Amino acid sequence: MQERLDIYEEIVALRCMGRRAVLVTIINGKGSVPSTASSKLLIREDGSTLGSIGGGFVEAEACRLAPEILKAERPRKISFDLNQHLSADRGMVCGGSMELYLEPIVPPPTLLLFGAGQTPMAVYRVAQLAGFNVTVIDDQPEHLNAERFPFAERILGASATLLPQLTIDRDTFIVIMTRAHSEDMEILRWAIGTDARYIGMIGSERKVISIFKHLTADGVPRHLLEQVHAPIGLDIGAMTPEEIAVSVTAELIAVRRGHRAEAQHLKSGKAIAMLTRVS
């Protein structure tokens, strides 16, 4: 019982630190299996473990699959016929079968939302409901307050010194929607040099072409610009701030869940074409 409690406490600690792990649970076992049903193993991202599901081949296979589970961020059930592994694993000489449930333990994704106008506020509302921890960044004090963004993780005033201080990792999504094209360009210049999983910028085709031209002329590699979602969002014919928010958040979800190829992004057929026109 104490070990199980330790696992749950460790899960809370890992989430608080923004770290990832896989929780493995025996959900079914028949015959002579190396551990009891509901036994758990926590596999941290660095490969270290806490708990046990009996060791041997099954535990080794769970550790081997853990990186795949974390990459996909989707749970998986796997079954083992232990009789097939008798020669490889003497600890299972009595045979049997076992079913495991591998569950990714990942921190909520962070959305850095640059802008605090009507459309960014709508994006904040929808993205927050979709499970993103939203940080709102803007230089307009009259728009940047807890009344407009009551559940924001953080509310920050934009400044030239702020960007390098932000922590960016693969669980970070960046959406750029400020009131000025020049500010959007400078934020984009910074963003493409980070490890953010997603970078999107609102704007017309003309705006995107102009910004890409400036950045390319300044020596920004074209392959970095090709990763930018601009125009931003999925192609659902959105017009109002609320509809745009649905479009943008849907794209964030598609990227998070690995459905980029299946979804019809506004970037597809437009942003890449824009890049070919940048010289």
Residue 264 predicted with pLDDT over 90: no
- Distance in angstroms (rounded) separating the CA atoms of residues 28 and 167: 41
- At 157-203, the pLDDT tens digits run 877 678 988 989 989 999 999 989 999 999 999 999 999 999 999 98
Q: Quick one: pLDDT band at residue 2, thresholds 50, 70, 90?
A: very low
Residue 13 tokens, joined: 């600690």
Average pLDDT value over all residues in the chain? 85
**For tokens 């890449």, what's the residue?**
272
Model-wide pTM > 0.95: no
- The Cα 55–Cα 96 span in angstroms is 15
Phi, psi of 114 (to 5 degrees): -95, 110
pLDDT class of 153 with cuts at 50, 70, 90? confident
pLDDT at residue 1 in the model = 41
Confidence of residue 84 (pLDDT cuts 50, 70, 90): low
Q: Which amino acid is at 176?
A: I
Q: In what order do the strands lie in the sheet with 198-201?
A: 154-157, 133-138, 110-114, 172-176, 198-201
What pLDDT does 132 receive? 96
